Amino acid sequence: MGLRFHSAPRCDHPVMLVGWPGIGHVGIIAVDGLRKAVGAEPIGEIEPWDFFYPSKAIFKGGVLEELAFPRNTFYYKRHEGRDLLFFIGDEQPSAENKAYAEGIKAYKLAQLVLDAAARFGCRRIYTSGAAVAAIHHSMIPQVWAVPTGPELLDEVKRIPNAVLMNEGSISGLNGLLLGVAKERGFAGMCVMGEVPMYVAHFPLPYPRASRSVMQFLIGALGITADLGGLDQSIKESDGQLEEIYKKIPAEMRAQLEKLREGREVRTQGEAAETHEREFMEGIGRLIEDIDKSLQDGGKRGE
């Protein structure tokens, strides 16, 4: 079980950005997108076999050529005077049939990622993922941020379109890694792009949220990067969602339209909490109905 590096860049106070697959692939699209935008190159990896079942076997002429495992790769780039480390995992290690990382394997993987960070003198980690929210898919997703310590609260407050998450939980390695980081004295932050509640149920990427996360990270790091690479996938994703949206029965769609006002509900303060809770419960029931309706081939649609 271990880390393998094939190059060892000399870094000056680097930060590490971490992405895994999850809801809407928001985190991995954001971190990998930023990695590509700054041109970071692979420098090492985590040996996968202690954490993952192989993903593919390739036989040529009857001989096993390759047994491929999910990749866990570290990248590096010095960009506009900032040393940037990236860690991108193809999968989260998990117990059988669980969607998110948990258990001792996940904990060990988190420790290895932090070992790598420490090796390069990195003391700050950003993880990224999705925040399932009562928003409409036509809206620009906000970013929910949760730092490991109060000294980072101001960083969130100064970035447009970002909000602090008051309470709740962060599933999988995005949360676990930061918990372990805090224990080991790293500073860190989880940055989550909003995904509409009804979209989170579909097995589709949601690059709109990834773009919001990327904009947050660029702001936090004080760098520039061209995010145009996401435009095409956002266009495709919007098209797919519109197709699905059309299949939702008209009366349900009318309910979802109210989500366009959802943010107003959420930000009106304590007086609105009961209203918000009722609203969210109603949306939850609506999503169950939509699922049933779509499984039924959208027969009740227009």
- Cβ of residue 58: shortest distance to another protein, in angstroms? 5
- Cβ neighbours of 152 (radius 10 Å): 17
Contact predicate 301/253, CB 8 Å: no
Nearer to another protein, 67 or 118 (CB): 67
- Cβ of residue 46: shortest distance to another protein, in angstroms? 13
Could you tell me which residues come within 8 angstroms of residue 175 by beta carbon, excluding any fewer than 6 positions away? 127, 169, 190
- Cβ of residue 95: shortest distance to another protein, in angstroms? 7
Nearer to another protein, 53 or 115 (CB): 53
Contact predicate 290/202, CB 8 Å: no
Alpha helix positions (H), the chain: 26-38, 103-119, 153-157, 172-183, 197-200, 207-221, 231-247, 250-257, 262-266, 273-295
As a whole number of Å, the CA-based R_g of the chain is 20
Contact predicate 137/205, CB 8 Å: no
Amino acid identity, position 295: Q
Nearer to another protein, 54 or 149 (CB): 54
- Cβ of residue 44: shortest distance to another protein, in angstroms? 20
- Cβ of residue 286: shortest distance to another protein, in angstroms? 31
Nearer to another protein, 48 or 188 (CB): 48
The 15-19 sheet, strands edge to edge: 3-5, 41-46, 72-79, 82-89, 15-19, 124-133, 187-196, 143-147, 162-164
Cα(165)–Cα(133) distance, integer angstroms: 12
- Cβ of residue 162: shortest distance to another protein, in angstroms? 36
- With residue 85 as reference, give the H or E element that holds it: strand 82-89
Interface residues toward another protein, by CB under 8 A? 49-50, 53-64, 67, 95-96
Nearer to another protein, 21 or 262 (CB): 21
Could you tell me which residues come within 8 angstroms of residue 82 by beta carbon, excluding any fewer than 6 positions away? 14, 15, 221, 222, 223
Nearer to another protein, 59 or 295 (CB): 59
Nearer to another protein, 95 or 254 (CB): 95
- Cβ of residue 203: shortest distance to another protein, in angstroms? 12
